[in-house]
Structure 1
Amino acid sequence: MPDPVVSLTDTRLSLAGNAGPVDILKGISLDVARGETLGLVGPSGSGKSSLLMLMGGLERATGGRVEVLGQDLTAMNEDALARFRRHHMGVVFQSFHLIPTMTALENVATPLELAGADDAFDRAQAELAAVGLAARAGHYPSQLSGGEQQRVALARAAAPRPEVFLADEPTGNLDGVNGGAIMDLLFGLRDRHGSTLILVTHAPELASRCDRVIELVDGRLATDAQRTAAE
């Protein structure tokens, strides 16, 4: 694969537990191409969200290497990782993580302001319009439905025009109708910005729309887990 956008090499993650270290990811090697849509699936506790967090520099690998856009995330400190995400990545979570004291418009504009954009509020308004919320720009999160809050979160993630879009169970807290609408918006934003999209999901209908689907089992890619079991 020429110049993958995301490249993991024997990536491992161990976290401290009451009985000692717990191995969450056990040697993941994976490349993701520019413009690809990759779905991460698997049972609860298999390491899907942890893998996504490593790709976003929100969790630090305890072994191996994580490269995004040619940059080694494992060599960056927290400030450098934050700057890298601000300029290159958009992240959407299952729980919307909106700032409750800010309007929808202010929530979307905040990352643009932090990045020094002169037109932060104009771009934020355009992104809210793209997700069908132009008329709700002045509303606070408590005044919005769950589906509307996730739309604001999508607009916020898309506003910096990220090269890599990460989504962790973006439809997990929504009913079927709202979940379907968010799926359409997610792929529409990906197409509009030309981003690489990597998402964690339990929803078969969302995974089926991805270019490629990878299953995790017990902290390994399914093919690796099957090979280890056979040995």
Structure 2
Amino acid sequence: MTEQAETKTTVLSLSDVQLELAGNAGPVTILRGISLNVEAGETIGLIGPSGSGKSSLLMLMGGLERATGGDMIALGQNLGAMSEDALARFRRDNMGVVFQSFHLLPTMTALENVAVPLELAGAKDAFARAREELVSVGLGARVDHYPAQMSGGEQQRVALARASVTRPRILLADEPTGNLDGVNGQAIMDLLFGLRDRHGATLVLVTHAPELAARCDRVIRLVDGRIDAEAGAAGRPAEGAA
């Protein structure tokens, strides 16, 4: 057990991270001094009431938003010091992001949507790998369908395949079951954790679903832009998870 503890690698390190955005009535403080370390292979659930800063924190971790204070380190790289182009390359090579609203390109088939990140990375076998990933999420028969021809659950499966096809070291998911019914939500949960296990990725997810939070190694509750509580064992989310 001691050896395992010594070989842990921190993949995300946040130190006094703050986020302030411009609002109509003046600056709005979203995050107020978040300090947090996430280890390789760990699964973190971010919970809390609406407006507590969960999604904003996830976007900072993915370099999709820039902190206005503190340090945001991912895989040893200071995200705040990177240019937009460097951030885009870093995400492409190291991260997969799943959004609640899928964000699929409507004019592309499922196969083309999943192949996009591989093509951007210059992979010659982009379409073969994309097809393989779609098969792994149960969509082998839907590769040539467009998003409008698929159900919400199927579109989220495509989004999962796209996020995982590059074998990212960090997988970020923002309310991945939020737009789905109970049956499809459960299926997406199983697929998400299956992809994590298969690829060995570190997973950070935002959720309001207690059953999804309960499957995480650690659950962190945010209130008013601050870490309010934390639980450290799978199946025991922080009090007040909703």
TM-score (norm 1): 0.95
1:77 CA displacement: 1.1
Residue matched to 1:153: 159
From 198, 204, 215, the counterpart of 2:204: 198
Residue matched to 2:68: 62
From 180, 192, 195, the counterpart of 1:186: 192
Question: 1:177 & 1:3 partners in 2: Cα distance?
Answer: 35
Structure 2 counterparts to residues 13-28 of structure 1, below 5 A: 13-28=19-34
Contact 2:220 2:229 in 1 (8 A): no
Residue matched to 1:126: 132
Structure 2 counterparts to residues 46-61 of structure 1, below 5 A: 46-61=52-67
Give CA-to-partner distance per residue, 1:121-165, whole Å, 9 cap, x none.
Answer: 111001000000011000000000000000000000000000000
From 95, 100, 105, the counterpart of 1:89: 95
Question: 1:223 & 1:205 partners in 2: Cα distance?
Answer: 18
Residue matched to 1:32: 38
1:5 is the counterpart of 2:11: yes
1:19 CA displacement: 1.8
Question: 1:178 & 1:68 partners in 2: Cα distance?
Answer: 32
Where 1:90 maps in the other structure, the secondary structure is strand
Question: 1:223 & 1:189 partners in 2: Cα distance?
Answer: 28
1:17 CA displacement: 1.1
Residue matched to 1:227: none
Residue matched to 1:177: 183
1:164 is the counterpart of 2:170: yes
Q: Which amino acid aligns with 1:37?
A: T
Query: Which 4+ runs in 1 deviate beyond 3 A?
Result: none
Q: Which sections of structure 1, spanning at least 5 residues, go unmatched?
A: 225-231
Residue matched to 1:139: 145
Q: Which amino acid aligns with 2:90?
A: F
Percent identity (aligned) = 76
Q: Which sections of structure 2, spanning at least 5 residues, go unmatched?
A: 231-242
Question: 2:229 & 2:112 partners in 1: Cα distance?
Answer: 44
1:20 CA displacement: 1.3
Question: 2:198 & 2:150 partners in 1: Cα distance?
Answer: 25
1:223 CA displacement: 4.3
Question: 1:22 & 1:143 partners in 2: Cα distance?
Answer: 40
Where 1:165 maps in the other structure, the secondary structure is strand
1:3 CA displacement: 3.3
Q: Which amino acid aligns with 1:128?
A: L
Q: Which amino acid aligns with 1:104?
A: A
TM-score (norm 2): 0.91
Residue matched to 1:229: none
Number of aligned positions between the proteins: 224
Contact 2:111 2:130 in 1 (8 A): yes
